[in-house]
């Protein structure tokens, strides 16, 4: 399994509790030292655009509809997370990240680092739930 395949399937790791889109956005905002909600702003400021593109790509991969075309559910992503962002901007963001993953090694490592943070948070939530279940039983 290559690194890109691993990136796309990071949300289907058996036994892990997937994070919500809002939790993913929060992790990315913290990673890039943005204020809460800044990533959702309608702006072209580079320091916000790039993290927003990453968030859109990760959330889209998490919400890929299991269809023969494997398309993200753009209307759901817009409705749930990026109400101020145009549909075309969402698609452009997704395609930009996809392209950069194939051509930019440093960017690919950045995505891996962020996904490791997400994975660690999912693992922590899973451990807490297991501990609660053990205490109850």
* pLDDT per position as a tens digit, 9-51: 443 444 456 788 899 999 999 999 999 999 999 899 999 999 9
Query: Which token pair is 9?
Result: 């399937």
Mean pLDDT rounded to a whole number for the chain: 81
> pLDDT per residue over 50-63, tens digit each?
999 999 999 888 76
Q: Give the pLDDT of residue 54.
A: 96
Is residue 47 a part of any domain in this protein? Answer: yes
Is residue 7 a part of any domain in this protein? Answer: no
For the cut 60, the answer to whether the pLDDT of residue 103 exceeds it is yes
Is residue 13 a part of any domain in this protein? Answer: no
Is residue 129 a part of any domain in this protein? Answer: yes
Q: Give the pLDDT of residue 71.
A: 63
The rounded distance, in Å, linking the Cα atoms of 41 and 50 is: 12
The rounded distance, in Å, linking the Cα atoms of 95 and 91 is: 6
Is residue 108 a part of any domain in this protein? Answer: yes
Number of folded domains that form the chain = 1
């Amino acid at each position: 399994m290559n690194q890109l395949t691993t990136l796309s399937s990071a949300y289907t790791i058996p036994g892990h509790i997937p994070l919500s889109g809002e939790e993913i956005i929060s992790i990315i905002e913290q990673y890039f030292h943005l204020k809460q909600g800044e990533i959702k702003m309608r702006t072209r400021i580079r320091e916000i655009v790039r993290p927003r593109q990453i968030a859109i790509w990760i959330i889209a991969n998490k919400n890929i509809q299991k269809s023969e075309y494997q398309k993200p559910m753009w209307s759901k992503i817009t409705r749930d997370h990026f109400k101020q962002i145009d549909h075309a901007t969402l698609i452009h963001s997704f395609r930009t990240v996809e392209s950069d993953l194939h051509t930019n090694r440093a960017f690919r490592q950045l995505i891996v680092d962020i996904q490791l943070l997400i994975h660690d948070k999912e693992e922590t939530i899973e451990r807490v739930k297991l501990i609660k279940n053990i205490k109850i039983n």
